[in-house]
Amino acid sequence: MSDTMKAPAAETMTITTGGRLDASAGRVRKKLSRPWASAASIVIAVLWTVPTLGLFISSLRPRDAIDSTGWWTIFTNPEFTLDNYAAVLESGTTQLTILQSFVNSIAISIPATVIPLMIAAMAAYAFAWIDFKGRNALFIFVFALQIVPIQMALVPLLTSFSRGINLFGLQVTLGLDASQGYAQVWIAHSMFALPLAIYLLHNFMSEIPGEIIEAARVDGASRGQIFFRIVLPLTMPAIASVAIFQFLWVWNDLLVALVFADGAAAPITKVLAEITGRGEGWYLLTAGAFVSIIVPLIVFFALQRYFVRGLLAGSTKG
């Protein structure tokens, strides 16, 4: 694809898509600036913040104070300690400490976010801009997979990992076991994330002006060049939004971790559940909760700008 074609096409697409996002953001800002919307936002913010504030204060209180009084008594009888955080960081299961499980959560969450996003972006591009037989029916089928409960897929998926898959009479053994590593967790989370990720990215990509795609084809751009040089850069806000949701889902997940992440591969959610599940260290859950949300907070604030643009992207049509 020639440089003379790439520059005008990319510039035109940036102006068109950026103009739509700015206009949409202006409309949303106007609606949210109304008095009733501001009042509702304040009420929701307070209702959301008060329990979190109470949890944070409880994490800094001694165990005896947590057992005997509510967190709001801190304003009349302030008692602060870091013993809960020290106990959480030093505790763990027979195989892992909290810090080791924290590293496991990072090792699980990053690939389990990147892998489905890569596959979903290519699939969404195909559904949006490649005309092939049965495209609409296949897209509806992919979208309908969202209604399948995760709980229904856990046992068959675990059986496939342990016994293998029969493909046209050929037995394929995956050789995955819940105590061996992260691969089975990556695969499980990727499979569960793909239907929604494909649907969301498809809706964003389909709003790119068709004239731009046609102009690139006329100038000799291949489908790969159109995807990597034009569609993918313009889809980054939506990709960032989906990445935040997927990362938070994987990081906070306990159900999949209980089934597929065992032994040395256990994430922090599973270790915290095992520590507090015995009933003796339930008060440590307050400190453990704030230890576990450090990385999600960093990810959210780092990608917040793209997250807001991705949320507004769905309202630009028409």
Domain ranges of the chain: 85-313
The answer on pLDDT for 272 being more than 90 is: no
Q: How far apart are CA 112 and CA 184, in angstroms?
A: 10
pLDDT for 8 equals: 47
Q: What is the pLDDT of residues 120-174, one digit of tens each?
A: 999 999 998 888 888 889 999 988 888 888 888 887 777 777 665 554 444 445 5
Q: How many CA atoms lie within 13 A of 263 on its CB side?
A: 9
Q: How far apart are CA 120 and CA 195, in angstroms?
A: 8
Q: Is 92 left (phi over 0), alpha (psi -120 to 50) or beta?
A: left
Q: Where are the alpha helices (DSSP H) in 221-317?
A: 223-226, 232-234, 236-252, 255-260, 268-277, 284-292, 294-302, 304-313
The answer on pLDDT for 316 being more than 90 is: no
Indicate the pLDDT class of residue 27, thresholds 50, 70 and 90. Answer: low
Q: What is the pLDDT of residues 231-252, one digit of tens each?
A: 888 888 888 889 988 999 999 9
pLDDT for 297 equals: 84
Fold (CATH) for 85-313: MetI-like fold (1.10.3720)
The answer on pLDDT for 218 being more than 50 is: yes
Indicate the pLDDT class of residue 290, thresholds 50, 70 and 90. Answer: confident
> What's the chain's average pLDDT?
78
Choice among 88-92, 166-170, 271-275 with the minimum mean pLDDT: 166-170
The answer on pLDDT for 38 being more than 60 is: yes
CB 313 within 8 A of CB 19: no
Q: How far apart are CA 244 and CA 290, in angstroms?
A: 18
Q: Is 117 exposed, middle or buried (0-12, 13-18, 19+ CB in 10 A)?
A: buried
The answer on pLDDT for 278 being more than 50 is: yes
- Residue range 39-57: mean pLDDT, rounded: 86
Instruction: Tell me which of 239 and 8 has the higher pLDDT.
Output: 239
